Every structure is written in structure tokens, then in C-alpha cells.
Structure 1
Amino acid sequence: MNVKTPHPAIGGNWASLLLPIAADDSIEFDKLGEEIDILIDAGVDGIYSNGTAGEFHNQTEEEFDRIQAMLAERCKASSMPFVIGACQPDPLIMLNRISRAAALNPRAIQVILPDWWPLSDAEAADFLKRAADVACGIPLILYNPPHAKRVLSPKALGMLCAAAPAVIGIKLADGDASWYAEARRHLSGLSLLVPGHHLATGIKEGVATGSFSNVACLSPRGAQAWTVSMRDELDAALDLERRICTFMDAHIVPFRQEFGYSNAALDKLLSAIGNWGPVGTRLRFPYRSIDMAEAVRLRGIALSELPDLFP
């Protein structure tokens, strides 16, 4: 069993910072600032930058610094917790991002394992130890999504995090009952951030502390209310989860499975369906975006099938 040194847990409903992209592929920083303000006003438990949906893989270093500085400034002014994603497939670039992110004093820094050539277990531990040194006391969150070159089992993650105590949490996909049993056995003491549309199940299983949430992409306020409801109304929250998953499977997942759009495109589609901010559906070249007309078409369906998320 993996027992961590004490750090404040990363939990609850965390909203992803999505990049508003102009027709010329530039980042619309005025809209990004507006988006941050909307998320703060929605009262989410925290905001995180530079996940996959934040297109961390498709930014210059100057843009990276400007995004994180804007997020840190606005969150600190409002006492909103924030996590900076320093992810980058290149390990040297990622270590430099970690160093610069640490100077902004986020709640934690999210990292991936370097991604062009899969790391061995020993190499992965070495990298996380170096990342911890560079982070200068800021705790780390390991992002190990289903599209990583190595998707680690709960046992492997537990061993890796035991070798790198600065890692206090993991963003990962969950699984079936046997996966949850393995997570309880090997990942005790870590903040586990499961997919947003599975959060109620993760809470019921006693494993999840929260989510870096795709449901918050659809409705930050609705996702926050749903997360709060899990404390006292878990059965109702599980019912809403079933309806969210039905909506996702019927209307969102086919864009990936049948048409090959990226996960970032799906999250931006959710944001456009929710129509809560100035993000839009456009991704940066060369990634293809889902037409805004699809968001308009699905908006009425979402309001009809998931009214609980749109108070």
C-alpha cells in the first residue's frame, strides 16, 4: 500500500482551461481572460491549465508562459486554487516548464511521462525525481491518460509514486470493479482524479477524490453542483451520471470513434454545447475541429436530457 507524505488533497470539480483559437491560429488572450473570470465566478473547486484539452502539445514557450501568468494572476486575486500543466512530450522542455511553473506557486504541477519513446519503470522514476527537484517543493500530479504511450496499472502507478513521493495525485482513467479494487489496494493516500463523467462512481467506490472534469467543460456550474451533491445525495448523483454517460455515448463519443476527432476537439465541443464562455470549437492546426453547427444542434438535446447541469 502506498502512503504519501501529507499535502493538501487535490479534490472536487476542477475545470479545464481551454484555448480560444482565432482563424489565424493565434490564441485570443482577451477571450482567455474572460474564460478564467467566468470559471472563477462559477465557483468551481479549481482551474487547471494545459491538459490535453488545453493543447499543451501545440504551444510556443512564450505562449505557455503567458497562459500560466494570466491564470496565476487572476486565480490568486480571487483565492481560486489552480494547477499548472507543465506537460510536454520532450523531457527537457517539460523540466523547463516545471521550473517556470513553480515560480507561480500553483497548488500542484501536472506532468506526463516523456512520450516519444516509452520510459522503462526505472527511467520513469528517474524523471519524476528530477521533476520534483525542479519543482522546488510544489507537489506533482501525474497525468496517465488512456492515450499515453504507457498506460500503467494501479500496481505499477503505486510503485512509481512510492519512488517519487512528490507525486501526490494522478489523473487517470478508471475501470471496472476489479480496477477499483486494485486502486484501493495500491493507490491509497494519493489524490485520484477520474474522468468527470465517472466521478460519482469513483466517489461511491471510495477511490476518487475528484476530477479534472470533462463535465465542467459542458457546464462549470452544473458540474460543481453535481459534485457537491455527491456528499449527501449520492444515489441521485449516480442517476445523473448514468444520464451523462448516455448522452456522451450517443452524441459525443461517435465524433472520436467514427470520425477520428481528438479528445481536445470533443472537450471544446462540450464547451460550445454548454455555451457558457468564449471558447469555440476551433483547435490549432493541424488538428481538425468539429463544426460549431454540431454544438448548436446538440445544445437542445443536452438541455432536454441533462437539465440538472444547466441551473
Structure 2
Amino acid sequence: MRALNADQIKGNWATLLSAWNSDGSLDMERVADEADVLIDMNVDGIYSNGTTGEFHCQNEKEFDRISECLAEKCNNAGMPFQIGVSHMSAQISLERLRRVVHLAPSAVQVILPDWFPVSDEEAVAFLKLMAEAAEGIGLVLYNPPHAKRVLDPEQVGRLSRLVPELTGLKTAGGDQIWYASMREHIPHLSVFVPGHLLASGIQQGASGSYSNVACLNPAAAQRWTEQIYQDMSSALELEKRLKEFMKNYIAPFITKKGFCNGACDRFMAVVGGWADVGSIMRWPYRSIPESEAPRVRQAGQRLIPGFF
């Protein structure tokens, strides 16, 4: 695929979840099947090795196999795709990037080095060398709430002026003040917000979502994305029900039971039943028991029936 600029990175991008066997080994056959399903669902794009793809739990051979599999399938199908080259170590992240450039992703996702918070000067130094290694492929900065440094739009804007290869931002978003700052400081970037906030996010100037909602049902998330551009009023009504579903039936696994975010995204894929990725998180992270799925599925069928 050709590299995409900021204006071209938009809409509903679905994650490629890793699939683990009971012994903790990577099941590439199931990963490959999942990529085929996502391509058949005709989502706006696919990305690998984010938090839900468990980039932090992969060894380098596994990272290469997943990246090569996604690239081959998407390049053959003409499907836009991004590869997450993130790692807590700047050195490993740089080497991952150098190894995937020849796969021609539409963009690459990176996090800032994450053992000790980087200064502004260090963040610029990191992104500049990553941009040089990317050889014209744009960088999407993945800056989740649990990052060691969570940047506001003004800070991202300063980075993008010094590193013009910065194409996009993956963020948790914020309130109306945050969106006003986004429109002021980074109107030139592709800004992606959480999937269940996509309608209100686009209404306030965001570009799309690397979508948690797509973990539940990528095809339904794609239909909703198209509805946003055609009938915002109806899309916002669905967003209210999605927020209720997430607040009451997904978020408590994090806030009350202490599961990690990736476990919730994987659990939603189990609830949605669109692909055989399983509920297993890789050691040492806990997996949400599949026995919880019928209760959550029943609630989803009531609140957001179009996703089931």
C-alpha cells in the first residue's frame, strides 16, 4: 500500500487481535483467519500491534510474523493497514520500524519510550529518528491515558511542528475544551478517539477511531461510521446506547475487577463472536472468563441489537 497522509487516515480502523494457545504460544492460523474476516468486512483500515494486539507481550519473531501476515493480506486486497511498532524500549521500537518499512504500511503507530517519562527534547529526538527510519511513511503517535506522559493538543502541536512526519494521534480525547484545543493546535493531524465516542468526536473535528467498538463487531462499527456521515442525529442516539453498554457492562471489569484494557477488548470480541480469537491474554495478564459473556451479550442485544 502507499503511505497515507493525515487527510486520508479516517473512519473505522479495526484492530488485529493476537491469538494465543492454551500453552501461551502464538496461533498464527487464527490470526491469519481473523485478518481475512476483517478484510471481508470492508472496514476503513486494519492495524496491528496496539494494546489489544499485545505488542508489549510479543517477542521479535512473533512481531515479524504478525506484521508480515497482515501486510501480505492487506497489500493483496488493497486494504489500508498500519503496523504498530511500539515498544517500551526506544531501541526495540526503532528496530521494529526498520524491519517493517519494506512491507509498505499506510502508516506506523508509535508510543513514546515508556520506562521513564521523556522530556520534550527527548520526545523530539525519538520521533525525529523514527521518522528518518520510516522513509516517508507517516507516524501516528499512540498516547493513551496510561502513558507515562499524556500530551495535550498544544504539546502535540509543538511536536508536529518539529517533526512534520507526524501524521496522526491516537488519544482518549476529552471534553469540549479539549476539542477546542485540538482544533486550534492540531487541525493538520488525523486525530482518532475511542470507538464508542466516534459520533460526537467526528462532530467536534476528530477523524476516526482505532476502534474498541470494532472489537465487538467490526462490520457493525463500519455501518455506524457510515451512518455518522449520513445521519448524525441517529448516530448520536446510537452513541448514547453504546456509552451505556460500555459504562455498565464493560468498564466495571477495569474499575471494579482490575482487568487490563486489552482484556476488555478481547472479551468484547468473544461477546460479539465474529472471529475465533479466544479469551486468553498472554501471561502475566488475566483473562476475563468466557462465562461472563452470556450476561454481557444479553445486555448488548437489548441495548445495541445491531451489533449482534
User: What is the TM-score with the length of structure 2 in the denominator?
Assistant: 0.97
Q: Report the alpha carbon displacement of residue 9 of structure 1 after superposing the two structures with TM.
A: 2.3
**Partner Cα separation in structure 2 for residue 262 and residue 129 of structure 1:** 31
Go from structure 1 to structure 2 and tell me whether the alpha carbon gap of 1:54 and 1:231 turns closer, same or farther (over 3 Å shift).
Answer: same
Matched-pair contact (CA < 8 Å) for 1:17–1:47? yes
Residue in structure 2 matched with residue 180 of structure 1 by the alignment: 179
Q: Report the alpha carbon displacement of residue 108 of structure 1 after superposing the two structures with TM.
A: 0.1
Matched-pair contact (CA < 8 Å) for 2:10–2:207? yes
1:297 and 2:284 matched: no
1:149 and 2:172 matched: no
Q: 1:248 aligns with which of 246, 249, 253?
A: 246
Q: AA paired with 2:180?
A: A
Q: Percent identity?
A: 49
Matched-pair contact (CA < 8 Å) for 2:7–2:190? no
Q: Report the alpha carbon displacement of residue 77 of structure 1 after superposing the two structures with TM.
A: 1.2
Matched-pair contact (CA < 8 Å) for 2:5–2:138? no
Matched-pair contact (CA < 8 Å) for 2:272–2:307? no
User: What is the TM-score with the length of structure 1 in the denominator?
Assistant: 0.96
Q: Report the alpha carbon displacement of residue 305 of structure 1 after superposing the two structures with TM.
A: 1.1
Residue in structure 1 matched with residue 133 of structure 2 by the alignment: 134
Residue in structure 1 matched with residue 103 of structure 2 by the alignment: 104
**Partner Cα separation in structure 2 for residue 282 and residue 68 of structure 1:** 20
Q: AA paired with 2:227?
A: S
Q: AA paired with 1:297?
A: R
Superposed CA deviations along residues 112-149 of structure 1, whole A, max 9, x for unmatched, are 00000110001101100000011111111000000100
**Partner Cα separation in structure 1 for residue 236 and residue 222 of structure 2:** 15
Residue in structure 2 matched with residue 61 of structure 1 by the alignment: 60
Q: Report the alpha carbon displacement of residue 7 of structure 1 after superposing the two structures with TM.
A: 5.2
Q: 1:264 aligns with which of 259, 262, 266?
A: 262
Q: Report the alpha carbon displacement of residue 6 of structure 1 after superposing the two structures with TM.
A: 5.6
**Partner Cα separation in structure 1 for residue 29 and residue 12 of structure 2:** 25
Correspondence list, 1:1-311, <5 A: 8-205=7-204, 207-310=205-308
Q: Report the alpha carbon displacement of residue 201 of structure 1 after superposing the two structures with TM.
A: 0.5
Q: Give the unaligned 5+ runs of structure 1.
A: none
Matched-pair contact (CA < 8 Å) for 1:226–1:309? no
Matched-pair contact (CA < 8 Å) for 1:102–1:109? no
**Aligned-partner SS, 1:84:** strand
Q: Report the alpha carbon displacement of residue 296 of structure 1 after superposing the two structures with TM.
A: 2.6
**Aligned-partner SS, 1:53:** coil
Q: Report the alpha carbon displacement of residue 102 of structure 1 after superposing the two structures with TM.
A: 1.1
Q: Report the alpha carbon displacement of residue 308 of structure 1 after superposing the two structures with TM.
A: 2.3
**Partner Cα separation in structure 2 for residue 26 and residue 295 of structure 1:** 24
Q: Report the alpha carbon displacement of residue 8 of structure 1 after superposing the two structures with TM.
A: 5.0
Report the number of matched residues. Answer: 305
Matched-pair contact (CA < 8 Å) for 2:6–2:190? no
Superposed CA RMSD in Å reads: 1.1
Superposed CA deviations along residues 85-125 of structure 1, whole A, max 9, x for unmatched, are 00000000000001112110000000000000110001101
Q: AA paired with 2:34?
A: E
Q: Give the unaligned 5+ runs of structure 2.
A: none
The 4+ residue runs of structure 1 with deviation greater than 2 A are: 5-9
**Partner Cα separation in structure 1 for residue 268 and residue 247 of structure 2:** 13
Q: AA paired with 1:120?
A: S
**Aligned-partner SS, 1:280:** coil
Q: AA paired with 1:112?
A: I
Q: Report the alpha carbon displacement of residue 303 of structure 1 after superposing the two structures with TM.
A: 1.5
Matched-pair contact (CA < 8 Å) for 1:101–1:109? no
**Partner Cα separation in structure 2 for residue 133 and residue 65 of structure 1:** 21
**Aligned-partner SS, 2:49:** coil
**Partner Cα separation in structure 1 for residue 301 and residue 289 of structure 2:** 19
